[in-house]
Structure 1
Amino acid sequence: MFVRDESFQTFIRRYPIITFLIAAHIIVFLLINFTPFSTSVYYFMVGSNYYISQGEYWRLFTPIITHEAAGHLIFNSFSLLLFGPALEQILGKVRFLIGYVGSGLIANIATLLMLPLSYAHIGASGAIFGLFGIYVYMVYNKKHYIDKANTQILLVVLAISLVSTFMSERINVLGHLFGLIGGAALAPIILATLKRRGKRN
């Protein structure tokens, strides 16, 4: 479930949303770091609580695909590569995108409401924790979607990720936690529509 053995072309064909998101990560990273207008791109994409409060609501979404440091980009993109495909396959493209972006949005709204106006953030971590939230809901409520071995892998990785969340002052702790909560909250809605669709088919 979490092991990738496809060729590059097969992966792109099977998981177009994951492919698009990772490509967006890379493109934005390159624009921020290796172009003459890097400062302008970063300014436009960053999730600034102050500017969001002034009506620039796109900043609730743009941080989800924005990374400035190579390590941040690699870690989040690899996490998406590892844990995203199974959910895209189970949920379908539209439901997966709703769960992923919706979790990131919930994380960023929580950041806006609970942290100072001077706070600014970037990164896909809130959305990725949302995937964990969806998986956790499956583990306890839809066990037929995930077997015992993969459940153990998932819970160990989640535990490590949660511990790591509190180990750096630069990490948006609220973003991680509310991404996880957001994914778990969206999961029953997304899976209910999947079930109804299955019945119609």
Structure 2
Amino acid sequence: SDLVSELELAKDKKQQGGRANAIFWILLLNFGLYVADHLLQIRQIKSLYLYHAFPSWYQFVTSTFCHANWNHLSSNLFFVYIFGKLVEEEEGNFALWMSYILTGAGANLISWLVLPTSSVSLGASGAVFGLFTISVLVKMSWDWRKILEVLILGQFVVDKVMEAARATTITGAALQVNNIAHVSGALIGAALVFVINRIPLSSNDDNPKASKDNKDKRS
């Protein structure tokens, strides 16, 4: 039984080691598109931006991987890495991809509905704020120490993210910070956690073992 336990432990470690892949693909995709856009000057990359006057459906997703300049890219990717890694370690590769895409695209959709038609949106910070919210909520419990940590550190973290993470909107010739994307990404992230936390409850009612395993994972 000791041998079986050791093999299972080794398997778990291997699986955990293999889970930290999606975040690096997301970072690489952001960086690769920046190089193609700004260094190699491949004109087709501009078609991935979200043009509010005549948007294509895919631009709501692709624009979350595009950035206006190096400062825009580096500040966003720092927080994508920090919060994305937390989400991936807790929920896995697929959950990270879906969290990034849904919060980023959702933030772009709300920006498109609200901002002028002359705007062009790009940047990952809708996804950054979504990942930040998700990473906090999936790790937070009702333990008083965790709540105290959130109260003390939460405002500091939010201020720093607001200062450095930028969702850029080009209106005319001016670059502007898209705060609508920030708020939208955070709210969509919270909504995702709210919905997903309720799915296992209905699917595992008839399976006590699965329900117990799910509770153990969440605790």
Partner of 1:7: none
Deviation string, structure 1 residues 116-144 (Cα, Å, up to 9, x no partner): 1111111000011001222454477x447
Gaps of 5+ in 2: 1-15, 169-174, 205-209, 214-219
Residues 14-29 of structure 1 correspond to what in structure 2 (within 5 A)?
14-29=19-34
Residue 95 of structure 1 aligns to which amino acid in structure 2?
A: A
**Aligned counterparts of 2:17 and 2:116: Cα–Cα separation in 1:** 40
Deviation string, structure 1 residues 72-102 (Cα, Å, up to 9, x no partner): 1111111111121111111122222222211
- Describe the SS at the equivalent of 1:51: coil
TM-score by structure 1 length?
0.77
Cα drift, residue 16 of structure 1 = 1.0
- Describe the SS at the equivalent of 2:54: helix
Cα drift, residue 199 of structure 1 = 2.4
**Aligned counterparts of 1:36 and 1:134: Cα–Cα separation in 2:** 35
Larger Rg: 2
TM-score by structure 2 length?
0.72
Partner of 2:4: none
- 1:34 corresponds, among 27, 31, 39, to 39
Gaps of 5+ in 1: 1-10
Partner of 2:211: 199
Partner of 1:108: 108
Percent identity (aligned) = 22
**Aligned counterparts of 2:22 and 2:90: Cα–Cα separation in 1:** 13
**Aligned counterparts of 2:41 and 2:164: Cα–Cα separation in 1:** 34
**Aligned counterparts of 2:116 and 2:162: Cα–Cα separation in 1:** 23
**Aligned counterparts of 1:102 and 1:178: Cα–Cα separation in 2:** 11
- Describe the SS at the equivalent of 2:176: coil
Tell me if structure 2 keeps the 8 A contact 1:100–1:183. Answer: no
**Aligned counterparts of 1:191 and 1:72: Cα–Cα separation in 2:** 33
Equivalent residues, number:
184
> RCO (CA 8 Å, sep 6+): is it higher in 1 or 2?
1
Cα RMSD (Å) of the superposition? 3.1
Distance 1:60 1:12, change over 3 A: farther
